[in-house]
Structure formats: structure tokens, C-alpha cells
Amino acid sequence: MSLKIWLDGQLVDQANAKISVYDHGLLYGDGVFEGIRVYHGKLFEIETHIRRLYDSAKSIRLVIPITPEQMKAAIEQTFRANNFTDCYVRAVVTRGVGDLGINPRNSKSPSVFIIADTIAVYPRAMYEKGMAVITASYIRNHPNAQSPRIKSLNYLNNILAKIEANDAGVPEAVMLNHEGNVAECTADNIFIVRDGKVLTPKVTDGILEGVTRGVIIKLCAKSSIDCVERTLQRHDLYVADEIFVTGTGAEVMPVTKVDGRVIGTGEPGSTTRKLIDLFKQYVRG
């Protein structure tokens, strides 16, 4: 079927959803985006996603040409126009059409487009068995170069780390920060479980503040599971009892091997399974 894409205020057929080759989002990765889930016909954690989108835009001095309320309405309009009740939505804001120079002042009108489609980041069977990961040689952005807290269109270092994962025959790679500490994966946040305590890197360790990550932290608090944000090193991954990653696309995925080292029993652990169940209940709720 031909999807309907929201493009600068209008729903257009997928084949006609085009932007200019002079758009600075394409030429320079100058823009921001959000990935949002729809479950049972409802936008998941939409207020958090919208806030992060506008925070990212503000940080790079990009003025989104519609209000947060209009953005939310456009996202809703898009997935409903495609008759989805469960899907993934990508909302993108670019600097807009400019010239071949880098100066953003020459891009007069930011562009907004919204895609609603299905997504399967990992095979369903992997959620039962867990997955293997590696640690990448490519690091997350230095916070004084480009803050990892900005969800920008420039994902090149993540992509290079993903290529390393592909070369190693695994679906995901852990990325370290400029100090050599654990940051996050190429598209997911990471958690470990050690002696019954859930640990995850701090925001200042060079991570994107994941929406699903926030939900898991909240679910831990509600379920009296001790969850602490703290700096982690690669060694902490190797000696963890359990590891899992979270993301809008991935949801909650167990990790059972890191750099060839088996984690725990080699199967998803009890805390991970409990949090997967709690997340599913939260989504249904």
C-alpha cells in the first residue's frame, strides 16, 4: 500500500514525499528527529518525545515552524491517515533549503515531515534468547563537539559503530565515551544488573536521554527494584549478572554476550524478564 506522509502541512502520497537536494538536513545532517511508538491507537509517551524534539531543536538554534500542540496533532493525523493502531512514527525537522555553503542563515524555512510505518528492529525470537553485542572502537560524541543529548540527523559515528557490529556478526555495539566509560549502544540505552541492583550510565556519561530508558527507571521505582544511574566501565559489562538495552524501536532487549564473554547464565535473567513484563503491562495500560 502507498503510505501517506505529512510534509510541511499536507498529507502526500509516499511517492510524492520529496525534499530538495539543497535541504541542509540532507547536505549537512542539519536537523533533529524523534522516533515514537503507537500502541493500541495511542501515542506512547508523546509529551516526553515532543519535549525532547523541541529541546534538541532549541539546542541547535533551529526554530520548528509549528507549535508542540500542532506537532502532536500532525503526528496523530499521520498514523490515523494510514489506518495504523500499532506502528512507529518518525518526526523530522530539517534546517530547510539553503545553498551549497554551510551557513544556516541561508536556509530560510525549516521543513517538517512525519512518517508512520511498521518496524521490527530485532527478530522476535531474539527477545526470548537474548543477543550478543560488541564494544565499538568508535566513541559517542564529545559533549563539547555535539551533545549526545541532541537527537540530530547526524548519526555517522553510530553508523560506523553499527558497521563494526555487522562485521562482527552481531546486531548491536556498545559505544564508550571520550573518557573510555560506557555510554550507550548505536541506537539503544544500556542497563546492567549486578547483585540485584539495576545500573545505567548517567546523562553526563554521553548518552541520549532515552524515553524507554526513562520508563524503565520509573518502573523500577514503582516495583521497588533498586535502580541507580552511575558511571560504568567496560569491566562492569563483562562481570554483570544481566544486561539489557532499551529503545523506542527495540523496546527491552536482553543481552547475553559481550565481546565473546557470556553474561550470567547465557540466558535473559530474572530481573530483565520482570522488567520486560512490566514494560508490556505499562504499554497495555
Q: Find out whether 132 and 40 touch, Cβ atoms under 8 Å.
A: no
DSSP state of 57: H
> Residue 195, by phi and psi: left (phi above 0), alpha (psi -120 to 50) or beta?
left
Segment 237-253, tens digit of pLDDT: 999 999 999 999 999 99
Alpha-carbon span 172 to 272, nearest angstrom: 18
Which residues, given as ranges, of the chain have pLDDT below 50? Answer: none
Three cell numbers written together for 251: 523496546
The pLDDT assigned to 259 comes to: 98
126-284 has which CATH code?
3.20.10.10
Evaluated on CA atoms 124, 128, 134, 140, the torsion sign reads positive
Q: Among 42, 151, 162, 274, which one carries the catalytic annotation?
A: 151
Sheet holding 4-7, edge to edge: 10-13, 4-7, 111-117, 87-94, 31-39, 42-43
**Whether 42 is catalytic:** no
Mean pLDDT estimate for the chain: 97
Alpha-carbon span 234 to 139, nearest angstrom: 13
Dihedral through CA 262, CA 264, CA 267, CA 272, nearest 10?
A: -130
DSSP structure string for 252-280: EEEEEEETTEEPTTSS--HHHHHHHHHHH
SS (H, E, C) 157-204: HHHHHHHHHHHHCCCEEEEECCCCCEEEECCCEEEEEECCEEEECCHH
The pLDDT assigned to 285 comes to: 83
Q: Find out whether 152 and 56 touch, Cβ atoms under 8 Å.
A: yes
> Residue 41, by phi and psi: left (phi above 0), alpha (psi -120 to 50) or beta?
left
Tell me if residue 218 falls in helix, strand or coil.
helix
The pLDDT assigned to 281 comes to: 97
The pTM assigned to this predicted structure is 0.95
4-117 has which CATH code?
3.30.470.10
The pLDDT assigned to 4 comes to: 98
Segment 258-268, tens digit of pLDDT: 999 999 999 99
The pLDDT assigned to 120 comes to: 86
Please list the residue range(s) of the chain that carry CATH number 3.20.10.10: 126-284
